[in-house]
Amino acid sequence: MIDYGTPAGPRRPGRKRASGRNPLRRVMTAMVVAVAVAAALIADHVLTGRTALAAQPADHGSYTSVAEPLRLGACIDPTLSIEQSFAPAIRADLAAGIGGLTPPSGPPLTGTSTASRPAVSLLVREVDTTSFSSDPGPYAAQVAVPGVPGLSQPRPVPSDVNYAADLTAWSQGAQTVMEDRKTAAAAVSGATQALAALPLDQNPASNSAITACVSALLVNVPAGDRHSYLLASDLEENVAPELQGSFGGAPLYIVQTCDSGIASTCEALLHHFEALMRHLDVGPVTVIRPEEAGPDIAQWIRTGEITP
């Protein structure tokens, strides 16, 4: 039982406390303050960091994006075993397809992003007796249209973080787009005229060296970038096949005319030709009817693909 009225006994001997404030308490207080300050700084860094990140372009100030270049190769078969209007129609479709690459004029839109346009190069060769020749003379054309960068984001608005710097970067990108659009438009005009004026070798004595024409594309279209190929022919080759180069898995689109009207004959020609192309590592092979070639060729020149 505790007696609250009895005086306390003498204090046990021990270390004397220093006069004044407790030093241990001062240390603990300082540690608490330091932790609180650090926590506040970290929280502020996280909040401001997130705000700045949300307002910045994905690539730290550059607003332009560039598409992968597209390298195309096309063979036209103008030999007289085919209806004579076939080759001129394909030539016109190729020229129209290149004409479709004309970019919009004027400055880019400010309220939305704009897509980049790839640089497109197109080599056109013709089927004749010497299709693989390194000197095709006038019966070949090489045209190119430079690419146009896109703008990955709309123009910054005054409420954006770093508005002044971002507006400068966006304006520089927009100026580049405008200048490159003018350059591309001029190139499109010249390329369209060159293809439209391409002479067709309709010599009655010419043979149909079709595989040689495709091989000439494969060894002459520059390496690198994305490749795609097109052949417009009846596939009736009357000389020994010449297989050189490699598709490297690139697609081949065939505009096959079937003048005989006998489906089984034309299918047999197609299957034989596909077997030859597999020796050259061809990728997907897609067949197009001549009646549908115009829009399909335009899509091929624009994207390197033809979708059903």
pLDDT digits (tens, 9 = 90+) for 61-95: 578 999 999 999 999 999 998 999 999 999 999 99
Question: Is-contact 283 250, C-beta < 8 A?
Answer: yes
Q: Which DSSP category does 11 fall into?
A: P
The number of CA neighbours under 13 Å toward the Cβ of 235 is 24
Question: Domain coordinates of the chain in residue numbers?
Answer: 23-55, 64-303
237/28 Cα distance (integer angstroms): 94
**DSSP H helical ranges for the chain:** 23-55, 86-99, 163-196, 210-220, 263-278, 293-303
CATH number for the domain whose boundaries are 64-303 = 3.40.50
What pLDDT is recorded for position 61?
53
pTM for the model stands at 0.79
130/24 Cα distance (integer angstroms): 99
Could you identify the residue written with the tokens 């001549």?
Answer: 290
Range with the lowest mean pLDDT among 26-35, 69-78, 191-200, 214-223?
26-35
* Coil, helix or strand at residue 67: coil
pLDDT digits over 86-134, tens only? Answer: 999 999 999 999 999 999 998 999 999 999 999 999 999 999 999 999 9
Q: Is the pLDDT of residue 41 over 50?
A: no
Helices 293-303, 86-99: inter-axial angle, 10-degree rounding: 40
Question: Is-contact 92 192, C-beta < 8 A?
Answer: no
